[in-house]
Amino acid sequence: MKLHTINTGLFKLDGGAMFGVVPKTIWSKLNPADENNLCNWAMRCLLIEEGSRRILIDTGIGDKQDAKFFGHYHLSGETDIVRALAQLGFAPADITDVFLTHLHFDHVGGAVIKQEDDSLAPTFPRAVYWSNERHWRWATEPNDREKASFLKENILPLQESGQLRFIDVSEKTVFSDHISVRFVNGHTDAMMLPQLSYKGRTIVYVADLFPSLGHLPIPYVMAYDMFPMKTLAEKKSFLQEAVDNDYILFFEHDPEHECCDLQVTPRGIRAKNTFMLGNL
């Protein structure tokens, strides 16, 4: 099995929203804000080569929306998932599976492309797109608070194409020989975290359970989370399991740190080492 980090650029979000009740005097030391209180965040995807499969985890923000939409997020870097993959020698037709942790626009936007005639189609024509039935229903029948994060043009073409499949929701689901799936429900309902066995280690793609290294402290919960008390419990349980079993965390949104392992400190469970996935 081979792993490839796929960087799909940076975008900006409000620092207060990203750190919830944590005061700016504290969180600004973790991720400094600009004059508009906005911080840079990565959109870091993962490509897994496993046998004949090429499995892409999340797809970044895409480029389908208009200038007004993207004006809110101040994109920088290479945000096109197709070009990012091409830099590693992969074409859209090479991808066999697209695993979507959840259907917020910054995770699923690159899954669908606008064609020359303005019609929408899956970016990866030969891929199976994986979600789960519970989260799909949550995203396509959204609540008023979260509906701005679920854009129909990012989601519905996947079902219309016939390329969408659902993973069974259970405590831990086997996805492939080296990948299992964890389900968490604090950020949004039935978010999926792929857990990989790689070179004798366990790597968890932590998506929005831990958006960044700065979110390791248990009370550091995003204001975007639908069920913050559930997030607290999920973080606490996961961190203890992770430190006990020497897991590696792969961060989707941290603008600087790609991976870390963990240690117990007087302040709680914190990062032990930070490193690039390629250095394993």
Check residue 250 and give its pLDDT. 99
Worst-scoring range by mean pLDDT, 10-24, 158-172, 234-248, 266-280?
Answer: 158-172
Instruction: Determine contact, residues 101/152, Cβ cutoff 8 Å.
Output: no
Query: Ramachandran region of residue 207, left (φ > 0), alpha (ψ -120 to 50) or beta?
Result: left
Cite the beta strand spans of 63-132 per DSSP E. 97-99, 112-114, 120-122, 128-131
207, 211, 217, 218 alpha-carbon torsion, rounded to 10°? -50
Each residue's pLDDT tens digit, 183-224: 999 999 999 999 999 999 999 999 999 999 999 999 999 999
Domains of the chain: 2-279 (3.60.15.10)
Mean pLDDT of the chain: 97
Residue 198 dihedral angles phi and psi, to the nearest 5°: -150, 120
Each residue's pLDDT tens digit, 122-149: 999 999 999 999 999 999 999 999 999 9
Q: At what angle do helices 152-160 and 133-140 cross, to 10 degrees?
A: 130
Q: Which residues pair with 12 in a beta bridge?
A: 40
Each residue's pLDDT tens digit, 58-111: 999 999 999 999 999 999 999 999 999 999 999 999 999 999 999 999 999 999
Q: Shortest CA distance to 182 belongs to which of 57, 50, 12, 94?
A: 57
Q: DSSP letters of 3-52?
A: EEEEEEEEEEEEHHHHHTTS-HHHHHHHS---TTSEEEEEEEEEEEEETT
Query: Ramachandran region of residue 204, left (φ > 0), alpha (ψ -120 to 50) or beta?
Result: beta
Q: Shortest CA distance to 198 belongs to which of 177, 181, 175?
A: 177
| Per-residue pLDDT at 253 exceeds 90 | yes
Put the strands of the sheet holding 268-275 in their side by side order: 172-174, 179-184, 191-198, 201-205, 248-250, 259-265, 268-275
pLDDT, mean of residues 165-172: 85
Residue 92 DSSP one-character state:
G
Check residue 171 and give its pLDDT. 64
Q: DSSP letters of 114-149?
A: E-TTS-EEESSTTPEEEE-HHHHHHHHS--TTTGGG
Check residue 170 and give its pLDDT. 75
